[in-house]
Amino acid sequence: MTKYIYSKAESKTDLNQLAKLFNKVFEPEKVGELAESLTMHYPDMNYNNWYIARDNKSQNIVSGFVLIPWEWQMQGISLKIAEMGIVGTNEQHRGQDLFRNNNNTFEKDLTEFEYDLAVIQGIPGIYHRMGYHYAIPMENHIELPLTALPNSYNLKFRAADFNDISFLMHEEDKCRALLQISVVRSKEKWQYILSEGKSTEYASEIFIIESNDKSYFVRILKQGFGNGLIISEASCDIPVSVINDLMAFLKNKALKTKKPFIRLNLPGSHVLTDYAKQFGAVERQPYAWQVKIVNYLSFIHKIKSLLEQRVKNSIYTGLTGSVALHLYTKQINIRWHDGQIIKVDEGITEATDFTLSIPKECLPALLLGHRTWKELQFNRPDVFPADQYLRMATDEPSEKTGHLFSVLFPRINSWIYCQY
């Protein structure tokens, strides 16, 4: 008899079992409540989003995780995202490859439903074995001491409600214009944040700041990493006069909740981040999303217009020739004619005009602009252009090749605000 049965969740009974499992696995955190809230209330979520392993003898669910759909945008290009979330296994059933077997079904769904990226917020040291690698920054730690901040404020701060959703979406649009990779949240997702989302471990308070004829907003998490008052989102164009009042408001809130500092979980380019640095904030290295590109050929083809625009705006305008990513075991060829990509294909190593040698595990960071090839090379000497360290048949010298790949895949400013 098969010891475990692998399937998708199908019913409220399955969900109740999952909630009980996750509350036990993640104790004292109430992750089970998050699982129930997302399944019952979050847009585009249902029982079928759960990948489960059931003990055949007891019929109890002993392992599982969920696919949470996102929409991200990369400089105007919509990306279909599958987050692998809430991964947990009953302690007595670990070491049985339950997660790996569930992941096999998840991988098939990624392909069948044409997801561009699969992403994980999870702990380090595990998911790289499944093809996930750090590629987009997250969880910034910019810690601002309270002593540096003003004590009083005059502006009005009120809690956001459903009537503010159009405003919040407009503010999101403005922030997205400053980021090269960002999240897209629908009206329904904002409704979840302002309602059912308040009862989960991602619960937040959103305040509208009213200043004369203009308004701004700030989002404060109720819990998270570290001991500070966590600011997870804010309008991206707050003027200094309003920031001073905002900081006084946040200081008073931190003191009331006995938080020793304010932690900005915001992109490094945010206006509040700049302000905090001027007042002695301690800036720590952010964590990062672990990302798996589902199909490299499809992804490169999807961002084709972006790559063409980068070439058009460079000295390589009108590029004609073959550009290759040499992965050591195979090669991805991007074929150009007169500044346009005419074909993206994969095969064995062949002579090209421009070649960058790069291990496959470094590709997500390069293609998503998390690191340039030169930054990757600092820790990975096996990332290099043309014939720098291998005798390759190539028409262009390594210097020119390296410069072209810097144009094609620059480091970009990315940040993903939470959608639940």
What residue ranges do the domains of the chain occupy?
A: 4-120, 141-285, 295-408
Which of 394, 143, 404, 173 minimizes the C-alpha distance to 266? 143
Q: How far apart are CA 381 and CA 401, in angstroms?
A: 16
Q: How far apart are CA 414 and CA 270, in angstroms?
A: 11
- pLDDT at res. 354: 93
Q: How far apart are CA 42 and CA 36, in angstroms?
A: 10
First-to-last alpha carbon distance for the chain, in angstroms, is: 41
288 forms bridges with which residues in the sheet? 137
Fold observed for domain 4-120? Aminopeptidase (3.40.630)
- pLDDT at res. 212: 86
Maximum distance among all alpha carbons in the chain?
A: 71
Instruction: For the beta carbon of residue 212, count every other beta carbon within 10 angstroms.
Output: 8
Whether the CB-CB separation of 217 and 171 falls below 8 Å is answered with yes
- pLDDT at res. 148: 87
Within 8 A by CB and 6+ apart from 239, the residues are none
- pLDDT at res. 351: 82
Residue 55 is encoded by which pair of tokens?
């003990």
pLDDT tens across the length of the chain (420 residues) = 699 999 999 999 999 999 999 999 999 999 999 999 999 999 999 999 999 999 999 999 999 999 999 999 999 999 999 999 999 999 999 999 999 999 999 999 999 999 999 999 988 989 999 999 999 999 999 999 999 899 999 999 999 999 999 999 999 999 999 999 999 999 999 999 999 999 999 999 999 999 988 999 999 999 999 999 999 999 999 999 999 999 999 999 999 999 999 999 999 999 999 999 998 899 999 999 999 999 999 999 999 999 999 999 999 999 999 999 999 999 999 999 999 999 999 988 778 899 999 999 999 999 999 999 999 999 999 999 976 555 555 556 788 999 999 999 999 999 999 999
Q: How far apart are CA 39 and CA 182, in angstroms?
A: 24
Whether the CB-CB separation of 245 and 236 falls below 8 Å is answered with no
Indicate the pTM of the whole model: 0.94
Sequence letter at residue 95: G
Whether the CB-CB separation of 172 and 186 falls below 8 Å is answered with no
141-285 CATH choice from 1.10.287.370, 3.40.630.30, 3.30.70.20, 2.40.30.260: 3.40.630.30
Q: How far apart are CA 335 and CA 345, in angstroms?
A: 8
Within 8 A by CB and 6+ apart from 377, the residues are 383, 384
Q: Would the CATH topology of 4-120 be identical to that of 141-285?
A: yes
Within 8 A by CB and 6+ apart from 46, the residues are 39
Whether the CB-CB separation of 391 and 173 falls below 8 Å is answered with no
Whether the CB-CB separation of 183 and 70 falls below 8 Å is answered with yes
Q: Tell me which DSSP letter residue 239 carries.
A: -
In words, the CATH class of domain 295-408 is alpha beta
